[in-house]
Structures are given as structure tokens and as C-alpha cells.
Amino acid sequence: MTQSIPLDAIDRKIIEHLRTHGRASNQQIAELLGLTATTVSSRIRRMEEANQLRVVAVSDFSAHGFNCLMRVMVEVDGRPASQVAAALAEFPEVFATHLVTGRYDIDMLVALHGLEDLPGLLLDKFSQVDGIRALVPSVVVDIVKYQFDVAPIEAKS
Amino acid sequence: MALVQIDELDRELITLLSRDARVSNRKVASELGVTEGTVRGRIKRLQQDGLIAFTAITSFNTIDRSRLAFISVQADVQRVREIAREIADMPLINAVMITMGQFNILALCLFDELDYLIELASDRILAIAGVQHIETSIAVKTLKYNARMARITARAIQEDDEEAA
């Protein structure tokens, strides 16, 4: 695992600007923060190489044809929850899988093209994974806020 | 939800930019075999339609608030939209969804100190009129999270940037 590097105030200012202006040029960022374009470029590269920053295009669920989101909570029985979660995370429809504390063991977010995909996903895919005692799905009917810019960062391929 | 019209070139463009948004239009154009003008025009249209946004994603160890909590809320059904909006306006809340099922609101929160989470969940959310019950769970391990896909809101859309290179 890559060692994380300490970030200073300038790094944080660069990140803050990139949050809303991901394609701002190094020159634009440099002028705004009173730096040189070379400094901006090397600081971004340094944070990227430490796997602490990615500047990317985030696309809307609808751009992928996903018109239906679901939250699925899972109760595990007779198998380590981390194994069940790893098996569930293999399904491409699942875009978030977390092991959680509390009444349920796994909390997932799932994206579907439409509600017609639900029976196949729940009955033929999720239910066939060993170690699941109960699946508690709930359909997301509205997204009021969605601000996710913190995530596990995979090494660059 | 409005039906989205995007073609194969849009999809290729999205895939390419989701790996690294700071590549030049020139490089994107040569990789996709189209002109720079086409790349510029397509990016602009996808941004205007709210289908893509360019942003910085940082790892959990980069920011101070590095723990994720799921706050499940049972709220008065007649006031669920107002209550969801009220929760969304709270500072530590990253996402709020209205759901159908055992709970009707799911709020996600990034926090650092347990005290913050307790204050937020028990003192603020539970105190909202119409909130009957909450259950808070903490993510102890993230096995999968695709941050390249999201609900893009008006706030995130910026169109005035030049290309990065």
C-alpha cells in the first residue's frame, strides 16, 4: 500500500479549486493562488502518485441508463460478512458495498435500468449468494443531495 | 426522469475522462479519432445537460472526516420531502435520499469524531418535528464504491473552464 503523504495548505487550496473546476488549467489555478503553473502541476502529480487525489469526470446515473436506484440492507448468517459482501460487490449493478455496524451487516447501493430488472437481481443473483439470511431492499424515489468526492482510490493502471 | 440521449462517442468520451479529466482536448481527440472542436462541443453539451461534471476525488486518508455513517430515518410520510431537505442542509451531510420501505430517508455523513455523529443524529436529526425514529450505523469497511457515478446537481456544473493542459 502506498504511504500517504502529508498535505499542506497550498495542496488543500488546489484540491478545493479542482472540486468545482476539475479542468481548470494549471495556469488558471496558479494565477488564482499566486503560484507558478509548474508548482501547480507538480503538486497535483505528487498527490496523484500517492493515490490521494484523482481529477475525473463524474457522470450522472442517467448517462449510464440507470433510472432506478436501490438501497439493499443485508443480514448475514453462517458465513463471515466480509465474504458475503465481497461476493455481492462482484455484481456490476452494485456500486457501493459497506460492512456496517447495527441491525444489518451490509449496506449496499444498487443501480438498475428499471424496476423490471429487480426480480432477476434479487431472486436469481443476490439470493444465490451463500450466507444471506435476509435482503431488505428499498427503492430510492428521490435524491435530495448527493455530494461524494471522498472515495477509496485505486492505484493507476 | 428525462430520457437521456447519448451516443457511442459520448460514452467513449465519458469513459476516457472518468480515468483522468485533465487530459488535453487534443489528446482526447486523437485517441477517439475526432477533431478537437468535436471534443470541445461534446464536453460542453454533456456538462450543460448535467450528465458529467469534473471534480477532484480524494482518498479517505486525505481529509479529516474519514468515517462514513448511514443514518436511517423514519419520518412522517406527509412531511418527508421537507424533512429530507432540512437534513440535507446540515453541514456534515453528504447525501440524502428518499426511499420506500422500512425507513423513508437515508442520510450519509462523513465524520471524524463520534461526538459529531452523535450530536448530528441524536440532537439535530431526531429533534426535527416529524422524525419518529432513527438508526445510525457506521461503515467499518468499504468493499466497493464507484465515485465516478453520481447524481449531478446544478452546484457541480461548471462550464467556463478551459481545458487543463
Å between B50 CA and nearest CA of chain A: 7
Q: Is the predicted pLDDT of residue B162 greater than 80, yes or no?
A: no
Strand B93-100 with B52-58, pairing: unpaired
* Of A149, A109, A155, residue with least CA distance to A20: A149
Chain A touched by B96 (CB under 8 Å):
yes
Cell of B116: 459529531
Which amino acid is residue A67, in one-letter code?
N
- Average pLDDT score over residue span B92-110: 93
- pLDDT per residue rounded down to tens, chain A (157 residues): 456 788 999 999 999 999 999 999 999 999 999 999 999 999 999 999 999 999 999 999 999 999 999 999 999 999 999 999 999 999 999 999 999 999 999 999 999 999 999 999 999 999 999 999 999 999 999 999 998 777 777 766 4
CB contact under 8 A, A147 and B4: no
Residue the block writes with cell 483522468: B20
CB contact under 8 A, B96 and A143: yes
Strands, sheet with B52-58, edge to edge from the N-terminal-most edge strand: B52-58, A53-60, B149-150
Cβ atoms of A97 and A89 closer than 8 Å: yes
pLDDT at A3: 66
Secondary structure of A70-127 in the HEC alphabet?
EEEEEEECCCCHHHHHHHHHCCCCEEEEEEECCCCCEEEEEEECCHHHHHHHHHHHHH
pLDDT at A2: 55
CB contact under 8 A, B55 and A71: no
Q: Is the predicted pLDDT of residue B147 greater than 90, yes or no?
A: no
Cα separation, A56 vs B147, whole angstroms: 10
pLDDT at B165: 46
pLDDT at B3: 60
pLDDT at B61: 74
pLDDT at B154: 59
Cα separation, A37 vs B165, whole angstroms: 10
pLDDT at B151: 86
Whole-angstrom Cα Rg for chain A: 20
* Of B54, B60, B62, B61, residue with least CA distance to B19: B54
In order of their start, the domains of chain B are 8-48 (1.10.10.10), 60-138 (3.30.70.920)
Cβ atoms of B92 and B110 closer than 8 Å: yes
* Of B146, B137, B125, B148, residue with least CA distance to B56: B148
pLDDT at A1: 47
Please tell me the pTM assigned to this model.
0.86
What DSSP designation does A155 have? P
Which tops the pLDDT comparison, B27 or B160?
B27
Q: Which of B19, B51, B57 sits opposite A63 (nearest CB)?
A: B51
Å between B145 CA and nearest CA of chain A: 4
Chain B touched by A55 (CB under 8 Å):
yes
Residue A140 pairs in a beta bridge with A69, B99
pLDDT digits (tens, 9 = 90+) for B29-86: 999 999 999 999 999 999 999 999 999 998 877 777 778 999 999 999 999 999 999 9
Q: Is the predicted pLDDT of residue B92 greater than 90, yes or no?
A: no
Q: For residue B93, give the 3-state DSSP assignment.
A: strand
The sign of the dihedral angle between the CA atoms of A55, A61, A65, A70 is positive
pLDDT digits (tens, 9 = 90+) for B7-29: 999 999 999 999 999 999 999 99
Cα separation, B52 vs A66, whole angstroms: 14
Cβ atoms of B139 and A107 closer than 8 Å: yes
pLDDT at A63: 92
Is residue B101 left, alpha or beta, with left meaning phi > 0 and alpha meaning psi from -120 to 50? left
Which amino acid is residue A51, in one-letter code?
N
